[in-house]
Amino acid sequence: MKFICPKCRRPLVREGGALRCKKGHSYDIASQGYVNLVLSGRSRSPLPGDNPQMTAARTQFLESGAYAPLAEAVAETLRGVCPEGGAVLDAGCGEGDYVRRLYALLAPIRPEIYGVDLSRVGIRHAARACAAYTGEDVRFAVASVYTLPLPDASMDAVVNVFSPLAPAEITRVLCGGGCLIAALPGARHLFEMKEVLYERPYENDETLRLLEGLRLLRTQRVTYPMALEGERVRNLYRMTPYSYKTSPEGAARLEALERLTVTADFLLCVYGKE
């Protein structure tokens, strides 16, 4: 367990049901096996785009395996960069679907995979879903990607799927030779759903952000059709930001659909530490 104290940045050590630093700061371990490392006063900020309905829809949609090919592509990249027993962070892991899949796919190299997210509901779900892989070790924390409770140079890789990117913290926690694997929406991602919702749907902009301290090593496109029916169509819609940006008419058209074949299109970008 590599977490550090958010107050004094010293290592945390497990003592019974809590993680404690040498200064005596203490953080209870929840029954699901995670800790809250957000300092009080900073945890009440509202999270735009992350309401309970979206979270529930995302959990159900991802658990159905619709984005499993993305997890497989991330695992393939990790096999090339993560040594046996190495450490990986999913920064903004949500409900932990990718962490759980990565634990299963990377079982032969026995990595320690950590997950942080500001959503307590998400982290609680993630810790529970990964308990079979993490055992008694605490690998999930409620924390911001902008102030990671992890030591410098402690991670072999950082994974980020559709979550805020904080380059300064990513480069700080990556070891020399470590890499960031970031999944971004490709131009055609969910295009057929946007055709139902909007008069004039647009393609996503694929201009890659320059991330300070990181060098783009390569990109890989992961694209495939998804044939969805019934509740899976609605869950996909409800987990996206379109669910609060669409006109009532567009939303009604989508909610009435019984089936939809829609493109999943991801750009997997691998960055090295400069």
**Positions that interact with ligand SAM (CB under 6 A):** 47, 50, 58, 62, 92-94, 97, 117-119, 122, 144-146, 161-164
* CA-based nearest residue to 33, from 135, 107, 117: 135
Centre a 10 Å sphere on the Cβ of residue 205 and count the other Cβ atoms it contains.
Answer: 9
Q: Which is nearer to ligand SAM, 119 or 246 (CB)?
A: 119
Q: Taking CB positions, which residue lies at the least distance from ligand SAM?
A: 94
Task: Decide whether 6 or 178 has the Cβ nearer to Zn ion.
Answer: 6
User: Which strand ranges, in their side-by-side order, compose the sheet holding 13-15?
Assistant: 13-15, 18-20, 26-28
Binder of residue 146, out of Zn ion, ligand SAM, none (CB less than 5 to 8 A by kind) = ligand SAM
Q: How far apart are CA 144 and CA 42, in angstroms?
A: 10
Strand partners, 222: 266
> Residue 79 binds what, of ligand SAM, Zn ion, none (CB under 5 to 8 Å, by partner type)?
none
DSSP SS3 for 224: strand
Q: Which residues pair with 185 in a beta bridge?
A: 266
CB of 117 to ligand SAM, least distance (A): 4
Q: How far is the CB of 144 from ligand SAM (least distance, A)?
A: 4
Tell the smallest beta-carbon distance from residue 97 to ligand SAM (Å).
Answer: 6
Tokens of 109: 């190299």
Minimum distance of Zn ion from residue 4's CB (angstroms): 8
And the tokens for 217? 């090593």
Phi, psi of 202 (to 5 degrees): -115, 155
43 vs 219, beta carbon nearer ligand SAM:
43
Q: 43 is written with which tokens?
A: 């945890």
Determine the length of the chain.
Answer: 274
Beta carbon nearer to ligand SAM, 15 or 231: 231
Structure tokens at 175: 């070891």
**Whose Cβ is closer to ligand SAM: residue 12's or residue 239's?**
239
Let me know: does 228 contact 60? Beta carbons within 8 Å.
no
CB of 17 to ligand SAM, least distance (A): 25
Among Zn ion, ligand SAM, none, what binds residue 173 when CB lies within 5 to 8 Å by partner kind? none
Contact residues: Zn ion, CB under 5 A? 5, 7-8, 21, 23, 25
224 binds, among ligand SAM, Zn ion, none (CB under 5 to 8 A by kind): none
How many Cβ atoms from other residues are within 10 Å of residue 177's Cβ? Answer: 10
User: Between residues 16 and 52, which has the closer beta carbon with respect to Zn ion?
Assistant: 16
